[in-house]
Amino acid sequence: MIKKARTLFDKIWEAHVVERKENFPDLIYIDRHFIHEVTSPQAFDTLRQKNLPVARPKQTVATADHNVPTKNQHLPIKETLSKFQVDTLIQNCRDFELELFGLGHEKQGIVHVIGPELGLTLPGMTIVCGDSHTSTHGAFGSVAFGIGTSQVGQVLGTQCLLLHKPKTMRIEINGKLRRGVSAKDIILYIISQISTSGGTGYFVEYAGTAIEALSMEGRMTICNMSIEMGARGGLIAPDQTTFDYLKGKEYAPKDEAWNKAVNYWGTLHTDEGATYDKVLYFDATKIPPMITYGTNPGMGVGIADTIPLDSFEGSLDDYNKALWYMDLTAGEPIQGKKIDYVFIGSCTNARIEDLRTVANFVKGKQKAKDVEVWIVPGSKSVEVQAKQEGLDQIFIDAGFELRQAGCSACLAMNEDKIPAGKYCVSTSNRNFEGRQGPGSRTFLASPLTAAAAAITGKVADVRTMLQEETDLLTV
């Protein structure tokens, strides 16, 4: 019998079908479940109402990230409601016997940063979390996606979900990235081309020479923002880069199991001749450093471009509303725009490699006078590593503030907020109205572009500031 050529996504999905019936969603087994304090309390309530235990407690891991302060983490959380939510998570993990990497724990951090760094995220897995950026974990060749709280309850109670199989899309990016251009620019560029709904209904596989050349950190940045094009998730076939990253990680398989695992992971790629529902191609050499100017991640342009005169999709009213909110004018250049804050953090760009890139660029430079710069590591271990490498001193010397791990100003649920009307160049993933605090105005960009803004106090083209040696170190 000749086996049908299958995509990477198909292989992983099919390996997790517990039950399939016609005209009915598939019953899918979930290997790894991450939870955090915001989207889990109501799910635990459901378990209590149904008088159920957690079905497979070893497959769920918890952390506190959205609500946590990023300064003085050793002190009790000041904000009452935040404290209550974090305490509720502690209580729930205790009651249901789940592993918690809570505040103060050496493994604490943003859920999508700690999973990979601990080796809890592995190729071939199905991974879910009550959080849309669960797509990050797809960088390892896993099927990873965000779910709602009702589904969090179902996974806790049964380790399964009822799901319709999404359509598949391949996005192929070939060619070598130009100087000063990084993974973040690739994904901002793609979303600016296909819009925030261009991927809705699809699960995306990223491929091509530009993707293969990326580090795991860069691949995570790309998969992270799959949701910003509306896709259910994104994934990348595991390769030597993936295995090298995982080898020796705390929860990754060891010895004999490791060899077995690598053998299996080696089969996780799209077969020759397999077909997708949609295929898109992009040329990496054409991608400039990107920046967003509007209130959704699809409203992005090359840093040297002007703000478009009209929306390429959607209504002119909505387009004008976004520019009004941002207090920007169609047709004006984005470069040179004065900014107030720089936020280098979030599950998109707060891994050690991001901090190294920034440190390497700002070494010996000073931040602009009127700009506040926050560097918020994605996890406790990134924070420790940054200090071990002496990056903290570089940041201090530049006038940056190195904080403690958490989601921070990515969503401003904690104390870190950008004030109303202020502009922030941010390495996070969403520029929605009020996302970084009520009335805040966000420009999404790469860590390098954010660093350039920190130094100049303006939206700046990092390419004009790069020296030859820095060139080699861009993510």
**Hey, which residues between 19 and 38 contact another protein (CB under 8 A)?**
19, 23-25, 27, 29, 31, 38
- With respect to another protein, which residue has the nearer C-beta, 40 or 182? 40
Q: Does 144 bind ligand SF4 (CB under 6 A)?
A: no
- If contact means CB under 5 to 8 A according to the sort of partner, which of ligand SF4, another protein, none does residue 274 touch? none
- With respect to ligand SF4, which residue has the nearer C-beta, 428 or 449? 428
- If contact means CB under 5 to 8 A according to the sort of partner, which of ligand SF4, another protein, none does residue 110 touch? ligand SF4
The first and second tokens of residue 116, run together, are: 């990979």
Whole-angstrom distance, CA of residue 355 vs CA of residue 361 = 10
Q: Does 110 bind ligand SF4 (CB under 6 A)?
A: yes
One-letter-per-residue 3-state SS of the chain: CCCCCCCHHHHHHHCCEEECCCCCCEEEECCEEEECCCCCHHHHHHHHHHCCCCCCHHHEEEECCCCCCCCCCCCCCCCHHHHHHHHHHHHHHHHCCCEEECCCCCCCECHHHHHHHHCCCCCCCEEEECCHHHHHHHHHCCEEEECCHHHHHHHHHHCEEEECCCEEEEEEEECCCCCCCCHHHHHHHHHHHHCCCCCCCEEEEEECHHHHCCCHHHHHHHHHHHHHHCCCEEECCCCHHHHHHHCCCCCCCCHHHHHHHHHHHCCCCCCCCCCCCEEEEEEHHHCCCEEECCCCCCCEEECCCECCCCCCCCCHHHHHHHHHHHCCCCCCECCCCECCEEEECCCCCCCHHHHHHHHHHHCCCCCCCCCEEEECCCEHHHHHHHHHCCHHHHHHHHCCEECCCCCHHHCCCCCCCCCCCCEEEECCCCCCCCCCCCCCEEEECCHHHHHHHHHHCECCCHHHCCCHHHHCCCC
The region of 82-90, 184-192, 351-359, 448-456 touching another protein under the rule CB under 8 A is: 82-90
Binding mask 61-80 for ligand SF4 (x = CB under 6 A): ----xx--------------
Q: Which residues between 243 and 272 bind another protein (CB under 8 A)? A: 253, 257, 260-261, 264
- With respect to another protein, which residue has the nearer C-beta, 396 or 420? 420
81, burial (CB in 10 Å: exposed 0-12, middle 13-18, buried 19+)? exposed
The length of the chain is: 475
Q: Which residues between 312 and 351 bind another protein (CB under 8 A)? A: 314-315, 318, 321
Q: Which residues between 402 and 461 bind ligand SF4 (CB under 6 A)? A: 407, 410-411, 428-429
- If contact means CB under 5 to 8 A according to the sort of partner, which of another protein, ligand SF4, none does residue 232 touch? another protein
Closest contact distance (angstroms) between CB of 144 and ligand SF4 is: 13
Q: Which of 349, 361, 337 is nearest to 455 (CA)?
A: 361
- With respect to ligand SF4, which residue has the nearer C-beta, 190 or 227? 227
Closest contact distance (angstroms) between CB of 325 and ligand SF4 is: 20
Q: Which residues between 276 and 305 bind another protein (CB under 8 A)? A: 296
The region of 143-151, 170-178, 205-213, 277-285 touching another protein under the rule CB under 8 A is: 143-151
Closest contact distance (angstroms) between CB of 436 and another protein is: 10
Contact with ligand SF4 (CB under 6 A) among 16, 32, 133, 356: 133
Closest contact distance (angstroms) between CB of 34 and another protein is: 13
Q: Does 151 bind another protein (CB under 8 A)?
A: yes
Q: Does 58 bind another protein (CB under 8 A)?
A: yes
- With respect to another protein, which residue has the nearer C-beta, 82 or 348? 82
The first and second tokens of residue 30, run together, are: 């979930």
- With respect to another protein, which residue has the nearer C-beta, 436 or 474? 436
Q: Does 130 bind another protein (CB under 8 A)?
A: yes
Closest contact distance (angstroms) between CB of 426 and ligand SF4 is: 10
Closest contact distance (angstroms) between CB of 9 and another protein is: 15
Task: Please give the size of the binding site for another protein, defined by CB under 8 A.
Answer: 76
Interface residues with ligand SF4 (CB under 6 A)? 65-66, 110, 112, 131, 133, 346-347, 407, 410-411, 428-429
